[in-house]
Structure 1
């Protein structure tokens, strides 16, 4: 019997490893294409010579100072939003949940728009700090309002939607009363990787590098919570503590992403569903695959936005919205059928 069980488990494991390798190769290939394309197309040979230090200094400057940090930032953005989406959907046990349900994006957006409009001379670091603080504050408010001898997922989601609507109204109010800085606010709200540098990348890197492994290490606990609070408690899990740690990790990571690239929706909603179709619901496999799919999704959207009508750039958030909105409607239809 043991031999039969091992034989049954091997194909699934090999499938996950093979999928991990394929997605990694696709990300590398897309990164090379993204390095090549732009206002100035750079052949692959010139890219190689630039990175080994014998290429044209001007091309090297374009690659290292502008394109490479943008590509790496797109990868980190996709990883952070996708893994946060996995956590939120599992904890709330709601396939339509996402980081947006927590009011996080709206809170970050309200703070960022307020700084952009009210303090037009503020540095990008101040804007990022304000967005992070706004998202974190909204999460704390939602959590405190939802807490009543524990946090029920449905109550948490409903309060999150209500607070998110309140923050969205505040954003529209600020924009309607805004000065010419409204254009900068709208670009930020659409979610764009344009003009991002190594400074923003370095600011986001620790959050993703630390929190994604932490969430992955808690994958078994996340499996238990996904089964229901009573089942998890019956198996000895400290449900409230684990839920708080996981939610706080997802919130912190999403707030860090939003504070750097703006509000990019649908990644945390769509990618977990696609990953589950590929490897199933077990979080030990689901989290790495979702992270790679998220990176591939955002990287591809940014590449399409840059290449569809150069030199004009379409923000990655708009491209993702065009793709994500129909899929969201499909999810709504599928859940209504159930």
Structure 2
């Protein structure tokens, strides 16, 4: 049973994060090359704006903000799942190669397959999922031992190695591509939010609508998987079955996010850690907090980076890495 005081603390933090997300969204709506004054936001939202105001808000800024919010949530949840099933605080879909696997699949699809304008947006998450799934399976196989089971530290090391190898494959693909396509892949690698239109939102949203409730439903299983294997087996958990099912969920979340945002790492590392520090390690408590933290981090990073340097700004992936890389080193040294 969860202590009532801890539940109350979680709810307070939850609503504070919702408020921070709302404030960041409002600030982001008013910033950009085409000015949109804050006193015109509400009238424009309620259909009383000029054509220019409607276009700037609903066709440029609002879709981008929603994409970054949803993607940050997906990456944070994916990281929380990976840390739980591997019992390794350094696990993150970007660090252990899942994002890179998705990226290679997207690059191959983009470079060598005919693209249908109507279905391209909706195919991207599927293609990214296939690439991420193949990568995750290979990493899992190399990290698994028949005698000791899944080895968490080895998983991170193997994942980092595969991430580097896949980055090399991406360079080879870029070297043989046309200039326009190279520009797209280079922006993807930097974590430049590129899927900034409403169809990308509709392509990403169903994955989160299904997988967030599913993960919360599996929260107690994640608690048990975080314990030692003998304890989990002792309470009747089918370890490998549950681990593979939840791992597929993490892969799908990461793949759907990076298919529209590019190669963004460290969100899945930082958000779960901070959530655990705030409300403790029980998945029922910290996962909702981690989801909101991840969404807020990416919206904040993109808002700052997009408006920091003219004309195109700094990619959100680089902004997140400026904070995430030192945080990763701190955790690595701490362990």
Aligned partner of 2:93 in structure 1 is: 99
In 1, the alpha carbon distance for the partners of 2:114 and 2:301 equals 29
* More divergent stretch after superposition (325-334 vs 25-34): 325-334
Which range moves more in the overlay, 201-210 or 180-189?
180-189
Query: Within 1, Cα distance between the matches of 2:196 and 2:94?
Result: 23
User: Matched residue pairs, number?
Assistant: 329
Which moved further from structure 2: 205-214 or 10-19? 10-19
State how far apart, in whole Å, the 1-side matches of 2:314 and 2:159 are: 30
Aligned to 2:320: 320
Counterparts of 2:195 and 2:290 in 1: how far apart (Å)?
A: 27
2:38 to 26, 44, 49: 44
Kindly state the Cα deviation for residue 233 of structure 1 after the two structures are TM-superposed: 0.8
Distance 1:198 1:29 in 2: 22
1:83 to 74, 77, 85: 77
In the alignment, structure 1 residue 28 sits paired with structure 2 residue 27: no
Unaligned runs of 5+ in 1: none
Q: Normalization by structure 1: what TM-score?
A: 0.90
| Deviation, structure 1 residue 183 | 2.1
Distance 1:128 1:84 in 2: 15
User: Relative to structure 1, is the Cα distance of residues 187 and 293 closer, same or farther in structure 2, using a 3 angstrom cutoff?
Assistant: same
Residue of structure 1 in register with 2:309 after alignment = 309
Q: 2:138 aligns with which of 125, 136, 141?
A: 141
Structure 2: gaps spanning 5 or more residues: none
Other structure's SS at 1:99 match: coil
SS of 2:49's partner is coil
TM-score, normalised to structure 2, is 0.90
Q: In the alignment, is residue 184 of structure 1 matched against residue 184 of structure 2?
A: yes
Matched, 1:208 2:205: no
Contact 2:188 2:194 in 1 (8 A): no
1:130 is matched with: 127
Q: Give per-residue Cα distances to partners, 1:235-267, cap 9 Å, x unaligned.
A: 111211211111110101111111111110111
SS in 2 for 1:41: coil
Question: What's the C-alpha RMSD, in Å, of the aligned pairs?
Answer: 2.3
Q: 1:234 — aligned with what?
A: 234
212-221 or 175-184: which moved more? 175-184
Deviations 1:9-49 (A, max 9, x none): 23222111100000001101111111111112212231111
Matched, 1:70 2:67: no
